[in-house]
Each structure stands twice: as C-alpha cells, then as structure tokens.
Structure 1
Amino acid sequence: MKIQSARFGIIEINDQSIISFDGGLPGLEGLEKYAIIRCDQTDPIQWLQSVDNQDVSIPIINPFLLKPDYEIEIDDSELDLIQTHSEEDLVVLCIMVIPDDLTKMTINLMAPLLVNIRKMIGAQIMMDYITLPISEPAFDALIEYYKKEGEVAADAGSVEKSK
C-alpha cells in the first residue's frame, strides 16, 4: 500500500508491517495504525509514521543503542496488551524529541513503546514504578554510537574555537 507522509512524501508500505496501537498513542488517540520508516540520513533514528495522518511522524530509536544498560520493568498485564509474553516477539523502542538545536535532543526512557513483531501490535507503557527520565539527553550518546559505527569523525559536534 502507498501512503502519503508530510516528511517522506509517498512511501510504499507492506501491509504486514503496519503496527496497530489499540486506541492510539497518548496525545494521538484515534490514530491507531503506524509503520516504521527507516531513513538512511537519520539512522539509527527511525520514524513511526501514522498511516492515517500524513503529518504525524514520530522519531523513535532502539534505546539499547544509546543506553546499553537500559532496563525496563513490565508486568503481565502490559504484555497482555500486545498479546505476547515471549522476549523473541518483543521489540522495545523509545520516542525521541529532536528540536532545531540537535544538541538538545532527548529520549523518553520512562514510556517505551512495546511492539509484538509477530502480531504487529504495539502499546506505549508508562513505567512509573521505577525512576527513569522522560527527557534523557541523547545527543552525546548518539555521537558516541556514530563513532563506534565509524560514521563520524571523532570531533563531530564540537565547536571550533576562533583564534
């Protein structure tokens, strides 16, 4: 199927890759169908594109890439929402905020998205029983990720001092 995206133009989506969020996401109730868009220019940041609203594309990332020691605590009722208790079926993603000043980008570690990749069902959960930041700075961790992947120079993101 083809969908229109304000960010990406017309994109081809495999029907089997559409993720259903029952009731939508907080603040986006009613928008229940999304596709994950991979973009070479922003990798490893991906985009959760609404199938129903071309203007809604949310930056997301695998939190373990930026914070390898990230841990989530979810209970059975939250896993019931996505109809799996199998780790093999589970993908964890976190929403990012990317302002014009990229050095101020953040990642929401408190409310991850859980996706059952076998049934393509997702839910955002609020882990309010542990202390994690909603707005964890992400720029430095992303630069470190790029350095490890060999995609940026060691001084990327630094400010050149005038003489």
Structure 2
Amino acid sequence: MSEEQPPSQDAPPPYTGGYPPAQAEYPPPQAGYPPPQAAGYPPPQAAGYPPPQAAGYPPPQAPPPAQQAQNTTVVVQQPQAAVITKGVHFGPSPMSYNCHICHTQQVTRVDYQSGLLTCLIVLVIFLLGFVCCLFWPFCCVPLCISGTKDVYHTCPNCNNQVGVHKRLG
C-alpha cells in the first residue's frame, strides 16, 4: 500500500557521504586592482602620504608650514575700583601720598565737586533772597567757590581715586 513517490525536481540530491565536490579556483583579478604583493615587501604608498614608520617610534609632529604658530600677546585691562584709604586724613589741599595701587610716592591731584555743603549754602541764599529781595541773584556764587566743595584726591600716576575730603557729612 505504500507507494514510493518519485523525487521532486526542486529537492536536492540525496547525501551520499564524503567531501563536497571541488570548486573552481578564485576568479582572475579585474583590471584596475593592484597586482598581488610578494611576501616580505610593504604595500606601495599613495602619493601625498608619508612613508611608513618603524614600529615603536611615533610619527614626527611638525606642524604644516601654512599653520606655523604665531606669537600673540593679549593684554586684558580690568577697571580698578576706587579704594578709599581709611587711616589717612585727606585735607582740602594736595598732599604727598604713597599710592596703594601703583606703589609710587606722589603728590595727589585734587578735584573739586559740589557736595552737601554747597547745596545747603545755595538753598539758604535762595530762601533769604526772597525774604530780603536782595540776595537771590547771589545764590549761584557757592557753585563757583572751591572752598564750599568736596575735595577728591587722585593719584597723578595711575589716575585712581585715593581719598576724599568732605566739607559736610
């Protein structure tokens, strides 16, 4: 009752044991490929690349001539904050002072600026000028007198403020 069926066309041939049949050699190299190298010789180098180095030595580290290092000096200046010295009494006139910023012995330069005393004198003269009707034109006179203004001492070498003499306050 069992009938043997003929082998189908798609099925592989039955295994008979042993090694597979020998295959053809590798195909010949195509044109454009380099020929095979003989044993013991290094591969050829393409144009533009340095020759290979011996094992154990690092390659030379010279920069290309177009990118030579340039010496560049960068100067960064930061504004210095005004430091008022507490132990020294600054008066209304220039004085000899050892600058704590530039460390030189200099005579200070003085600048006069209107302060609290100047404003009070202007206000008093202005108010009395309306009461007496005679003094109000003179209310701007204290703005022209350096004896009523505050004195700011600066170092002439480094131009930093080293002290202040307040007339009032």
Which category of TM-score, normalised to the shorter sequence, fits these structures? under 0.3
- Name the structure, 1 or 2, with higher relative contact order (CA <8 Å, separation 6+): 2
Q: What TM-score does the superposition give when structure 2 sets the normalisation length?
A: 0.24
Normalising to structure 1: TM-score of the pair? Answer: 0.25
